[in-house]
Homo-oligomer: A and B are copies of this chain.
Amino acid sequence: MEFSKEEKEILFSILKSRRDVRGNRFLSSPIKKEELHTILEAALHAPSVGYSQPWKFVVIEDTTTKEKIYQNFVEENQKAKEIFQNKTYDALKLEGIKEAPINIAVLYDKPKKTTLGMTSQAKMGEYSVVCAVQNMWLMARALNIGIGWVSILDEKKVLELLGHEDKKLIAYLCVGYVKEFLNEPELKTLGWEKQKELDKVVEFINYEK
């Protein structure tokens, strides 16, 4: 299959307009079942080391579970606030756990047997699951659904809460329709970090053409 210039432009536009969505922008309307299905299907098309597909998705709508996860966020964010000691940080809304109609915990389910491609770099299993998360994020954006990745959580406690102590937490995602997608990353707008230009992060070893 050969893609056209127009199709490439559409991909670029999806990549560029994907955002990390926080609670203050989620709508509470439920996600359509077929759209959730499409997002999960997108994950299954991610590359995986040795075709191991070492992923597991836990879809959470349950208010009680979300509340417990949220409490863990509050605790962990309190520690972060003490580290940063910064008013801008304190004012940031950094999750949408309760506002988003669903949360999805994306887990790494380590293969029982030796996996092709993992003999030199064991981390490849986890990285495969990260690729699946990025596929989900892009597919959600194409469906005009927002995703926010919450990383201010204690991995061990989240796994215990979900009854998956034997796995690894790769991503905790808040998923929902949104009021708006911001034009650029919020932390860029706020001046928290500057954008890095391409020539600052690329190095060529003898590249000519």
Contact = CB atoms under 8 A, between A and B. Distances in A.
Given A118-B151, A131-B133, A143-B8, A45 B57 contact: no
A196 interface: yes
Given A65-B206, A152-B119, A56 B143 contact: no
Contacts of A123: 126
A100 interface: no
Contact of A127 (B18, B170, B198, B201): B170
Nearest to A60: B205
Given A116-B84, A120-B76, A11 B139 contact: yes
A57 B202 contact: yes
Where chain A touches its partner, the secondary structure class is: mixed
Contacts of A170: 127
Range for the number of chain A residues in contact with chain B = 35 or more
Given A135-B134, A207-B102, A11 B10 contact: yes
Contacts of A139: 8, 11-12, 15
A83 B120 CA distance: 11
B203 A80 contact: no
Given A1-B181, A193-B50, A127 B124 contact: no
B61 A117 contact: no
Interface of A: 1-3, 7-8, 10-18, 20, 30-33, 37-38, 40-42, 44-47, 49-53, 55-62, 65, 76, 79-80, 83-84, 89, 92, 94, 102, 109, 114, 116-121, 123-124, 126-127, 130-131, 133-135, 137-139, 141-144, 149, 151-155, 162, 170-171, 181, 185, 187-188, 192-193, 195-196, 198, 201-209
Shortest beta-carbon contacts, A-B, top 3: A62-B206, A51-B187, A130-B130
Given A8-B38, A84-B114, A124-B151, 15 more contacts: A1-B13, A10-B10, A20-B47, A37-B198, A47-B134, A51-B185, A53-B193, A56-B202, A60-B206, A60-B207, A94-B116, A109-B201, A127-B171, A130-B131, A138-B138
